[in-house]
Amino acid sequence: MRIKNRMSGNEALGQAIRQINPDVMPAFPITPSTEIPQFVSNMIANGEVTTHFIPVESEHSAMSAALGSEAAGCRTMTATSSCGLALMWEELYVAASSRLPIAMCVVNRGLTGPLNINAEHSDSMGARDSGWIQIYAENNQEVYDNMLQAHRICEHESVRLPIMICQDGFITSHAVQNIVLEDDADVKAFVGEYKPEHYLLKANETMALGPYANSPYCMEAKRAQAEGMIQAKKVILDVAKDFEKMTGRKYGFFEEYKLADADYAVVAIGSAAGTMKDAIDKLREKGVKAGLLKVRVFRPFPGEEMAKALENCKAVAVMDRCESYSTQGGPLGAELMSAMYRNKNKAEAINIVYGLSGRDVTVSDVEGVFERLADIAKNGVKDKQYTYLGLRG
C-alpha cells in the first residue's frame, strides 16, 4: 500500500534501501558517513532485509568492498558524505571503469577547510569526472524517488555505470518533511532482480577484472565507458516514464518551474530550488516573469537540453553551491555556460556561488538575484560574471 508518511531524507533513503533489499552494503559505520548505514543495520537486525552488511574501517575500504561484491555479481549499495567520499576517490574511478553499477547515497557536505560539516556540493562535484552518474534532489521525496530509479538506470545493459544519488546535507538529510512511500511489492517489481551478464562468481565463465591496459587498448576502454554515459541519457528518461506510470510523479533531466515564458531564470541544484520557487511565486505576483531550471541529472550533463530550455530568457543566473577555484566560477556555471555558447543561446548569463558550508539562502536572497538579472537584461553584465551571494564585508 502507498503510505503518506513524514521522515528525514536519510530515513527516506533507509526506506528505499529496505524496499530494494540489496545483496550487500559495505559502509563505514560512523562519521563522516551518514545515518543511512545505521538505519539499514537496524533493519537487518530486525529481519526486515536480507542484506549482508559489511562494517569497514574506512570509506576507502567501503568502496573497495563494494567493488568486490558488485564484481562478484551482488547488487551493492553504500552511503557516504563529505570527506568520506573524498577518501573513496581512487576506488570511484575503478568502479566506473570496471563498469560496476554500484548505487551510492551521497549526502552533500563541504570539504575542509575551515572544518565544517554543513551542506555544500563540493564533495560530489569534485567527483564529477570520476565516471559516476549523478542525480540530485530538492527534498526527501525526490531523493527517495531517485533511489528507486537508480538501479534501473545504472544496471541497464547499455549503461553499466555506478550512480550517486545525492541530497543536501542536513537541509534535507536531517529535516523531517511529508513524503509518500510507494508500496513494497510495487517497488520490488519496479526495481526488478539484478541479473548481471558477466560476474566473477558466474559458473563456467572465467574473467579478469581491472587488468593492466597499455596505450593501444586503454583509450578504447575509456571511450567505451563514455558511451555508457551517453546511453544513460535515454535510459534515465525511459526509467522516469515508467516511474511516472507507477507514482504519477514526473522526472526528467531537470525540472522547469515557470520557465516557459520567463524573462529571467535561475539555474540551481538541490534544496535551494524549493526556496527559489517560493521567491518566483512572490515575483510573479508582482508581474516579474521569473523562472527556475532545477538540475536533477548532472552526469550525464544535459547541456543541449538545458540551453534550449533557457533559450527565450533575457538573463540567466547559474547558481553553484560549490567553489571550484578555477577563477572562472563553479562547475555548473562553467559547463552550462559552455553549453549555452555552443547552442547559440543569446541570454546574458552570470554565475553565482552561494550557500557554501551551509550558508543559508532565503527567499529575499533569491529575489535579490532576480533584481540583478532584470538590471543585466536592461544594461548588460557590468560586474564580474562570477560572484558570491550574501558574502559579508
Partner 1 sequence: MSKLTEIRWHGRGGQGAKTAALLLADVCFKIGKNVQGFPEYGPERMGAPITAFDRISDNPIRVHSNIYEPDFVVVVDETLLHTIDVTKGLKKDGAILINTDRKAEDLMPQLNGYKGKVFTIDARVVCMKTLGKYFPNTPMLAAVVKITGLMEPERFLTEMEESLKHKFAKKPEVLEGNMKALKLALEEVH
- 116 vs 225, beta carbon nearer partner 1: 116
Q: Which of 220, 242, 360, 371 binds partner 1 (CB under 8 A)?
A: 360
Amino acid identity at 209: L
Interaction between residue 271 and partner 1 (CB under 8 A): yes
Instruction: Round to whole Å and give the CA distance between 145 and 290.
Output: 27
Interaction between residue 274 and partner 1 (CB under 8 A): yes
Q: What is the DSSP letter of 120?
A: -
Q: Which of 21, 177, 312, 385 binds partner 1 (CB under 8 A)?
A: 177
Interaction between residue 201 and partner 1 (CB under 8 A): no
Taking CA atoms, 179 is separated from 33, 140, 251, 261, 349, in Å, by: 23, 7, 16, 30, 35
* Cis amide linkage into residue 32, ω under 30° from 0: yes
- 228 vs 355, beta carbon nearer partner 1: 355
Q: Report whether 291 contacts 256 (CB < 8 A).
A: yes
User: Coil, helix or strand for 27?
Assistant: strand
Interaction between residue 277 and partner 1 (CB under 8 A): yes
Interaction between residue 121 and partner 1 (CB under 8 A): no
Angle between helix axes 215-247 and 184-191 (nearest 10 degrees) is 150
Angle at 87 between CA 113 and CA 75, to 5 degrees: 135
Interaction between residue 174 and partner 1 (CB under 8 A): yes
Q: Which of 361, 369, 373, 389 binds partner 1 (CB under 8 A)?
A: 361
Interaction between residue 112 and partner 1 (CB under 8 A): no
Interaction between residue 369 and partner 1 (CB under 8 A): no
The owner of cell 575509456 is 222
Q: Tell me the closest approach of the beta carbon of residue 228 to partner 1, in angstroms.
A: 33
Strand ranges (DSSP E) for 237-370? 254-257, 264-269, 290-295, 297-299, 315-320, 348-353
Instruction: Round to whole Å and give the CA distance between 305 and 99.
Output: 26
Question: In the stretch 282-321, what mask flags binding to partner 1 with x, by CB under 8 A?
Answer: ----------------------------------------
Question: In the stretch 141-170, what mask flags binding to partner 1 with x, by CB under 8 A?
Answer: ---------------------------x-x
Q: Which of 205, 278, 304, 375 binds partner 1 (CB under 8 A)?
A: 278
Residues that bind partner 1 (CB under 8 A): 6, 117-118, 138-139, 168, 170-172, 174-178, 271-272, 274-275, 277-278, 358, 360-363
